[in-house]
Amino acid sequence: MATHTSISHNEALAPIPDASRVFGWSAHAALWFSLGVGLLVMQIGAYLVPAVGTQDALIAIVLGSVVGAGLLAWVARIACDSGLSSAGLMHATYGSGFARLPVLLNIVQLVGWTTFELVVMRDGTAAIAKTNFGVDLSSPTGVLITTLLWGGVLTALMAGSMLTLVRKFISRYGLPLVLLSLVWLSWQFAQKLLAADAPAFWNRPGDGSMGLLSAMDLVIAMPVSWLPLVADYARHGRNGRSAMSGTWLGYALANIWCYALGVMVASVAAPGTDLVTALLLAQGGLLALGLILVDEIDNAYGDVYSGSVSAHSLAPWWSIRRWGLLLAVACTALALVLPIHSLEPFLLMLSSVFVPLYGVILGRLAQGTVSGSQRLVEPSAAALWLAGVAVYHLLGQYAPQFGAALPTLALTFIAAWLSRPLRSGYALQK
């Protein structure tokens, strides 16, 4: 009876009640477009220059974004139909004991992402202050002030309601402002390309350091990094079809746009110029970059909220809100002491964990009915995930020309589908 009571009060592992299913198609689309926009995405897009040619970069961006966003959308539909969070889907697939490992890894990566977001916002604020107002915020005092500023905003948001934030702030106010910023910056850098040598830009070859499939891996890495979060929001949707289509369109459009803008900026910026400085040098760049920095806070919020849901699944005696406040404060502290490293290896490392993890989840739950395990460990699912991580790294080391994400995803999905247990219905505590 004690076990039943503890599970019934675990909001992360129980299906969401009907009263909390308030997201329609527009809310899903607005949320995932907003989460897909960010300076980090543009910076990763800039990594494609000069590694691959312009045309190959465009192909990799479009295909990688459509496939990656499609994975998000697929998980969103399963989560909406079942009412389960990301932690709930992991429990249903891997067993209530073993699932704690990927849930814990998810919390760790979400703390890492939030710390990166805070550092990006801090550095963007410092660049704006120095370029436009001559104020140097690179001193220890300046770093402390700007980090605490953004960390304080994040902590204040965690004290409020996620449903209200998505429906009222992001959908009504945040999304139109971000769209205007992207349109303005795209127009500015498109003009620079046209004024320089547009045909040369379009026909620019790569230097051979990255192939087309490897470039797609880098593009897919961004939506894959959101896979462990999407269910925490999608389960608040009214129906699975709108959750799937809204998530797919919103994120794919944002990812394509920001990756392409990163390629454009890197192609016209002076050698050695960082992305933020290049954006500021564009006409109207201060306002546009400022709005994107404000939008960046919802990415950090999305990470912390999902991390708090996962943490609550492990320790349900603390509420999701309390976990959110704790994680926001912890990430602010980490942003003050951790150096920011190269993003590409970090992203690809995350892909190696979560691509096979969700390949198995999709293979097991793709039939539309979530058949959950009452066991501590589902041995076949756990073995497939760990084997998938190994396959991902082996492909990256010995066959990088083929990419690693898509082959690993396909192999784990097929293996999980063929080995799925024949059950019906998921035993949930309401």
What pLDDT tens digit does each residue of the chain (430 aa) get?
Answer: 334 444 447 899 999 988 889 999 999 999 999 999 988 889 888 889 889 999 999 999 999 999 999 999 999 999 999 999 999 999 999 999 999 999 999 998 899 889 888 988 998 899 888 888 888 898 999 999 999 999 999 999 999 888 888 777 787 777 888 898 899 999 999 998 888 888 889 999 989 888 888 899 889 988 988 999 999 999 999 999 999 999 999 999 999 999 999 999 999 888 878 888 888 877 787 888 888 888 888 889 999 999 999 999 999 999 999 999 999 999 999 999 877 655 556 766 777 899 999 999 999 987 655 655 568 999 999 999 999 999 999 998 898 888 888 899 999 999 999 988 765 344 333 3
> For residues 185 and 261, is the Cβ–Cβ distance under 8 A?
yes
- The residues, any chain, with a CB within 8 Å of residue 100's CB and separated by 6 or more, are 314
Give domain status of residue 389, yes or no. Answer: no
* Chain centroid offset of residue 327 CA: 17
CA-nearest of 358, 341, 372, 332 to 67 is 358
Number of domains into which the chain is organized: 1
Q: For residue 368, tell me if it sits in a domain.
A: no
Q: Is residue 375 part of a domain?
A: no
Sole residue written with tokens 């496939």: 67
Q: Which two tokens stand for residue 301?
A: 């919020």
Distances (CA, A) of 145 to 137, 299, 382: 9, 21, 45
Residue 372 lies in a domain: no
What is the C-alpha to C-alpha distance for residues 52 and 37, in angstroms, rounded to an integer?
Answer: 23
Residue 67 pLDDT: 94
pLDDT at 285 (0 to 100)? 79
Residue 405 lies in a domain: no
Residues in the chain: 430
Residue with tokens 């805070």: 118
- Ramachandran quadrant class, 424 (left: phi over 0; alpha: psi -120 to 50; beta: rest): beta
Q: Is residue 15 part of a domain?
A: no
Q: Hey, what are 294's tokens? A: 């404000």
Whether 87 and 96 have beta carbons less than 8 Å apart is answered as no
Domain that holds residue 312: 21-343
Q: What is the CATH number of the domain that holds 302?
A: 1.10.4160.10
Residue 299 lies in a domain: yes
Judge whether 7 lies within some domain. Answer: no
Which residues, in sequence order, are CB contacts of 401 under 8 Å at separation 6+?
A: 211, 213, 214
